[in-house]
Amino acid sequence: MKFSKVIYMFLLVSILVLTPITALAGTEAVISNLSSKGIKIVDYIALAGTGFVVFVLKVLRSEGFKFKENDILPLINKLSSKNPDWHLDNIKEVVETTFFSIQESWTSNTYYNVKDLMTPDLYNKHIAKLNEMTSNYKTNILKDIKINELYLVSAAESDDNNPGFIWINIKASMIDYILDIRTNKVSSDNKNPNSFEEYWKFIYINNKWLLCEILQKDSVVNISQLN
């Protein structure tokens, strides 16, 4: 999306916001009615403006990931010409398959099914967490799992000392809550999906992509730290 489109959207939203405000401004009775309910025109403008700013920032953030992915494509194209596993479509297919397999195995307590999709260190870390929940008679229920956006944000080819790797930005949503098996009580909302954003790192070892690290959005200050 070009910045001109963002400007057009800004103008459109401005019209939609200012039109009812203008009408209200010319009607003292309506303004008085709004004031009696604790609603101020200034508050309405501020709320609408804040919502639009948040929307624009989200759009620009997604566009930034697209630009970053485009910057990496020359390297990906070079590597994929020698090895199809590095083709962008193949990479994203691996990421999606791994993502859904992990969520489904996690919530069904069959995590052994995804052992071959990740490094031993990460697998052992996750198994320890699952065992801890099991010992406390709790299970993590995940439903309505969806990937909303997926971008390649960092990559490097292998050298004599390190395997090749990729970092993927994943925006997804799911219903996510903890169920106490003994009481059937849930820890949070078990009906509405929550959106989240994570960074997943895969390394290329023995002709295969393996998940080796997952970082939360807040722990990544700058994409340049992903290596």
Locate 35 and state its tokens: 């004031």
102-118-219 Cα angle (round to 5) = 80
Spatial contact of 166 and 201, defined as CB atoms under 8 Å apart:
yes
Domain covering 67-224 in this structure, CATH number: 3.10.450.240
Per-residue pLDDT of the chain (227 residues; tens, 9 = 90+): 444 444 445 445 444 444 444 444 444 554 455 455 555 555 545 555 554 443 443 444 445 556 689 999 999 999 999 999 999 999 999 999 999 999 999 999 999 999 999 999 999 999 999 999 999 999 999 999 999 999 999 999 999 899 999 999 999 999 999 999 999 999 988 899 999 999 999 999 999 999 999 999 999 988 888 88
Question: DSSP character for 186?
Answer: B
Closest residue by Cα to residue 66 from 1, 140, 110: 1
Residues 6+ away with beta carbon under 8 Å from 211? 98, 102, 117, 118, 119, 122, 200, 201, 202
Given the structure tokens 């070892």, which residue do they identify?
Answer: 205
Return left, alpha or beta for 206; rule: phi > 0 is left, psi -120 to 50 is alpha, else beta. left
- CA torsion sign for 11, 195, 150, 68 is positive
**pTM (2 d.p.):** 0.73
Query: Residue 106 is inside which H or E element, if any?
Result: helix 88-107
Domain ranges within the chain, ordered by starting residue: 67-224
